[in-house]
Amino acid sequence: MKKIALLLFLILNIVCQSQEDYIDEFTTLKEMDVVKPITDDYFDLKIYIFMDVNSCMVCQGMIPELEKYFEGKNLKIQKIIFFSGASKKTAEDYKKENNWDYEIITDYNNIYTDYYKITMLPAFLILNNKNQVMFVDKLGGIRTTSSKLDSILNYAKENKTNDVDKRIIKSMPVVGPPQKKIIYTSHTRTIQYLEKTNEYLINSDYGKDIYIMDSNAVYNHKYNLDEMLKQENTSGDNIVDLVFDEESNNLAMCINTIGVLHHLFIYNTITKETELGSLEYIRHNIPKFRAGLDIAYSPKSNHIYLNIDWSDHLKKSTSEKEPQLYIFDLADSAIIKRIIEYKPTIRDNYDIWGFAYTLPLVVEDRLFCTNMFSTELFEFDLKGNFVKKYGIYNSENYRYNPKPMESRHRDEYMYFRGRASINENLLFDKATKKIYIYYQNKVETTKENLKLMLRVPTKHYLVEVSNDPDSKCNEYELPENHVPFYINNGVVRTTTNEDGLKIHIVDLKK
């Protein structure tokens, strides 16, 4: 009897120990560890599931059970499945077959699985709104009890995320055709506020249509590229970039007509007059030329200012002299009037080619340019003659001197794009006559998070350009994921692209 009792004690001890210790085989994460989330959105809880095609049906059965447990609890929950060792199609087929209401991120090379310290599949973890690990277990694990999930649920309810930014005066979903539905788009190339008519101009997904939305962001009418090109006896593939001048009623565009950009186009929305200029000859003189990206336009000079995109960045990075912005004279069928060349401060050897991406802005008789990774703003006249240079060197948040980091060639591009501040746009406040640079700050790059740089949180800022480079910059952190496109006396119009395209009016002074 003693031997049987001893055997039962040993078995019970082993079972109890396995209940406590088996999780160590699946992960080294512990409760209350802090990890970086995939996105920086406001969520009360984040459920991250890690699995592959070999995960058994019992384990997979917990996926809908977790979803069912937390639904209808008035909480904002992010649910992601990291599908390891499979193609995107395979992972999406699994999602469809099982009717999982989770976002799928394919993890073919176990980048995310390794990053979140998951050592055996299948497993899952739950994060709170401070990105602390509330709970971690294997799928189908015995540690997952109703009492444990209740405690997580109660914590989330008591510590709900306050996702209301008091600076946001008004938010409007962008409602467009057909049938007045909210616009869902992966990319909005151009959005512009039209002051005179209190409307919005939107060109999304590099499409052929330019939507004009009313003051509440509801579809009013549109301009179609093929309709506008009828007088030119040609048609277009899409619009790469455009700007509308409200004084002249001219739409200035760079367009694709045969799959490769080779035309600049002006269309007057009142008279319907057109001007079409060919860029095809540039390819014979600049073999690396691939496309034109950002444009600015001046009706006074009838010039389009076009940033050139190059096809070979690495070779170009060895160049000491870089053409930045091309001035085209539409009266001479898009003949180059002048090439503006200037060289911003180079921070390290990795940065040079990034300066090819120029962000032009025309303000009355002045032309402003900056670059994706520059702390400087250059002013020219409309003919391209240099006037002066401004700086944002004393910006508190702009990171412009990171230390180079060794990495495999495959990762260098991600690292370069994500390791510092990235200028995205120039804005002019007519009320205050101030120029603002809108930039994004990626999180600090380390060897640990290098491969996740395209998904880690990003902060958005507006910095006021100062005439005095030694003065401290006035700068504002924008609401989460808000991209500004217009400013007037400190009130900014922004756009977000989550659960549909939205336009917001934000008072930065609040």
Which tens digits make up the pLDDT trace of 457-486? 678 999 999 877 677 788 999 998 899 999
| Mean pLDDT on 322-331 | 75
User: For residue 354, what pLDDT band results from cuts at 50, 70 and 90?
Assistant: very low
| Mean pLDDT on 281-308 | 75
Which tens digits make up the pLDDT trace of 114-167? 889 999 999 999 999 888 999 999 998 888 998 999 999 999 988 887 667 889
- pLDDT for res 315: 46
Residue 61 has pLDDT above 70, yes or no: yes
- pLDDT for res 330: 79
Name which residue leads in pLDDT, 453 or 430.
430
| Mean pLDDT on 10-16 | 40
Q: 378, 363 in Cβ contact below 8 A?
A: no
Token readout for 378 is: 């250059």
DSSP conformation letters of 364-389: TTEEEEEETT-SEEEEEETT--EEEE
Q: 377, 387 in Cβ contact below 8 A?
A: no
- pLDDT for res 238: 85
- pLDDT for res 320: 42
Task: Give the number of C-alpha atoms closer than 13 A to the C-alpha of residue 468, restricted to the C-beta side.
Answer: 5
- Name residues whose C-beta falls within 8 Å of residue 399's C-beta, 6 or more positions apart in sequence: 420, 421, 441
Model's pTM, two decimal places?
A: 0.71
Which tens digits make up the pLDDT trace of 392-445? 878 888 876 555 544 444 344 444 444 567 788 999 999 999 999 999 887 665
Integer CA distances (angstroms), 316 to 159, 289, 356, in order: 51, 11, 9
DSSP conformation letters of 61-116: THHHHHHHHHTTSS--EEEEEEEETS-HHHHHHHHHHHT--SEEEEETT-HHHHHT
Residue 353 has pLDDT above 80, yes or no: no
- pLDDT for res 252: 94
> How far, in Å, CA of 464 to CA of 377, rounded?
11
Q: Which amino acid type is present at position 343?
A: K
Residue 222 has pLDDT above 70, yes or no: yes
Q: 489, 197 in Cβ contact below 8 A?
A: no
Residue 193 has pLDDT above 90, yes or no: yes
Q: Angle at which helices 62-70 and 146-158 pack, to 10 degrees? A: 40
> How far, in Å, CA of 86 to CA of 82, rounded?
10
- pLDDT for res 9: 36
| Mean pLDDT on 9-17 | 40
Token readout for 463 is: 């910095």
- pLDDT for res 349: 47
Nearest to 210 by CA among 263, 257, 262, 267: 267
- pLDDT for res 10: 36
Q: How many other C-beta atoms are found inside a 10 Å radius of the C-beta of residue 403?
A: 7
- Range of lowest pLDDT (222-231, 345-354, 413-422, 431-440): 345-354
| Mean pLDDT on 72-92 | 88
Q: 351, 335 in Cβ contact below 8 A?
A: no
Name which residue leads in pLDDT, 100 or 346.
100
Q: Which amino acid type is present at position 183?
A: I
- Range of lowest pLDDT (78-92, 169-183, 353-367, 405-419): 405-419
Nearest to 466 by CA among 491, 435, 428: 435
> How far, in Å, CA of 36 to CA of 452, rounded?
10
Mean pLDDT of the chain: 79
